[in-house]
Amino acid sequence: MYVTDMDKILATRYDNGADFWATPDGRIGIEKPISTLTALLILSELKVEKSHEALQGAAELILHAIKDDGRVRISPKGSIYPCHMALAAAALCRNGYAGDKRVKAVLEYLLSNRFEDGGWRCNKFLFGRGPETNYSNPGVTLVALDAFRCAGMHEGAHDFDLAVETLLDHWTVRAPTGPCHFGMGTLFMQVEYPFLRYNLFYYVYILSFYPKARKDKRFIEAFETLSKKLDGNNKLIVERPNRKLEKLDICWKGEPSEAATERYFEIIKNMEQ
């Protein structure tokens, strides 16, 4: 299964004009069909060895995009946003690069530049300004927490309690919050895999690594909602695969996924701690 999916992903590596899913001018965030950042996130779900040349090549492009202060510029002339930094950190940390000094710089920058509610958000107001934008972006915050748990920085620390609380609070609010208007509607509640976007499965999975979340009734409610997505054989059904990845064997729409089920049982293991 993983080998076949790997072949499908590798077949797209030049589609943006250069190798490792990048463009000739060095952009690593162009999703046509997938970007360098997205490819690296997918490779982590396919359990690709760190020594694989495609994984190494993609990782080097992202590492090269990290500035000395820890910010990440994913295109030569583009703006720098926390979402780019969080994605870069998560992509690298998921693939074993958490110990690299450049990745540590990104994580330190993120730690030092949080919104007042403890999460992260991009200072870009595509939907205008209103009371709902006076919060961090839940999606960006979730990806950042993903990076920190991969780096092992979540263990025994309370540095992320505020960020976790903002995500737990969103379970109650449900309405779109943050400048990018992340909400919890019908699409959020559909199981999506691999972990690329803000959705129920990714939400429960990442929060399960944080002690503050595991004992909270809002997390328990979210977990129980996710548990209802299992079939009669305790396999997790993928309801909404990313349309660019829907041909991967690990995420057939409406079918049980062995890979997704493995992640689900990681949640169970985390909750037993």
Q: What would the pLDDT profile of 213-241 be if each residue is shown by its tens digit?
A: 999 999 999 999 999 999 999 999 999 99
Question: What is the Cα–Cα distance from 45 to 8, expressed in whole angstroms?
Answer: 14
Single residue among 97, 112, 127 that ends a domain in this structure? 112
34 and 149 both lie in a single domain? no
User: What's the structural domain count of the chain?
Assistant: 2
Three-state DSSP at 124 gives: coil
pLDDT at res. 155 = 78
Q: How confident is the model at residue 248 (pLDDT cuts 50, 70, 90)?
A: very high
Q: What is the mean pLDDT of residues 140-157?
A: 92
| Residue showing tokens 């710089």 | 105
SS3 content of the chain, % helix, strand, coil (to 5): 45, 5, 50
135 and 236 both lie in a single domain? yes
90 and 181 both lie in a single domain? no
155 and 243 both lie in a single domain? yes
Q: How confident is the model at residue 3 (pLDDT cuts 50, 70, 90)?
A: confident
Q: How confident is the model at residue 122 (pLDDT cuts 50, 70, 90)?
A: confident
Which residue range(s) make up the domain with 91?
Answer: 1-112
Closest among 199, 181, 58, 194 to 130, alpha carbons compared: 181
**201 neighbors 193 (Cβ within 8 angstroms):** yes
Q: How confident is the model at residue 158 (pLDDT cuts 50, 70, 90)?
A: confident
What does each C-alpha distance from 237 to 47, 129, 190, 257 come to in angstroms?
A: 20, 37, 10, 6
53 and 123 both lie in a single domain? no
Residues 163-175 have pLDDT tens digits of 999 999 999 999 9
Residues 67-93 have pLDDT tens digits of 999 999 999 988 999 999 999 999 999
105 and 124 both lie in a single domain? no
pLDDT at res. 160 = 95
9 and 96 both lie in a single domain? yes
pLDDT at res. 236 = 98
Q: How confident is the model at residue 1 (pLDDT cuts 50, 70, 90)?
A: low
Single residue among 112, 137, 160 that ends a domain in this structure? 112
204 and 267 both lie in a single domain? yes
pLDDT at res. 2 = 77
**203 neighbors 166 (Cβ within 8 angstroms):** no
Which token pair is 253? 């729409």
Residues 6+ apart with CB under 8 A from 225: 189, 200
Q: Report the percentage of the chain scoring pLDDT > 70.
A: 99
54 and 136 both lie in a single domain? no
Q: How confident is the model at residue 131 (pLDDT cuts 50, 70, 90)?
A: confident
pLDDT at 192 over 90: yes
pLDDT at 125 over 90: no
Closest among 160, 139, 138 to 149, alpha carbons compared: 160
Single residue among 78, 112, 146 that ends a domain in this structure? 112
32 and 131 both lie in a single domain? no
Q: How confident is the model at residue 181 (pLDDT cuts 50, 70, 90)?
A: confident
18 and 107 both lie in a single domain? yes
101 and 235 both lie in a single domain? no
* Mean per-residue pLDDT over the chain, rounded: 94
